[in-house]
Amino acid sequence: MAKEAIRLGADGIFFASQMSSYDVMDTELYLEYGKPYDLQVLEAAKEGWMNTVHAHGSNVMFDILSDYPANVFNWHAWETLPAIDEAKQLTGKCLMGGLNRTDITNCNRNAIRNQIYASYQLTGGRGLILTPGCVIRYPLNDAMLAYINTAKAFVENHMAL
């Protein structure tokens, strides 16, 4: 399916790895029953320029996933390790994340503004696609989404990026 998606014009795939957590299984099991199949999917999508690996949940197997053949690394930043600067340095990939989804759902404006600032500070504003680390819970607050755009513009205008 991944290869066909690319052939049909997709720029890449969003590969969510939900079992690559030390809370779910140990390293040996994942190396035997997870990684080989993950790599088959990513290999099929290798012609895509925007392949993203999403490390789902907490306590993710960062050491295993960080070298997967993808252009973008996404995880529940601010909810679990690695830290943003650590992920940036150790993956060498574009990062997708920086916003805690619970803070979006709970309309925690100060936390969100701080996360935007810290994400930009830790990446130098480069190689970052500012997003929640995972899905935003229902109900979605339109005013909060507007605030995120406003806070992002505020931070960008006040930082030397």
30, 45, 75 - which closes a domain = 75
Percent of the chain whose predicted confidence (pLDDT) is above 70: 99
**pTM here?**
0.93
Does 21 reside within a domain? Answer: yes
What average pLDDT does the chain have? 96
Q: Three-class SS of residue 57? A: coil
Query: What confidence score (pLDDT) does residue 135 get?
Result: 93
pLDDT digits (tens, 9 = 90+) for 29-54: 999 999 999 999 999 999 999 999 99
89 phi, psi to nearest 5 deg? -70, -40
Structural domain containing residue 160: 97-161
Query: What confidence score (pLDDT) does residue 159 get?
Result: 87
Rounded Cα distance between 75 and 81, Å, is: 9
Does 82 reside within a domain? Answer: no
69 and 5 share one domain: yes
Rounded Cα distance between 83 and 60, Å, is: 12
**How many structural domains compose the chain?**
2
Q: Three-class SS of residue 63? A: helix
Does 87 reside within a domain? Answer: no
Does 31 reside within a domain? Answer: yes
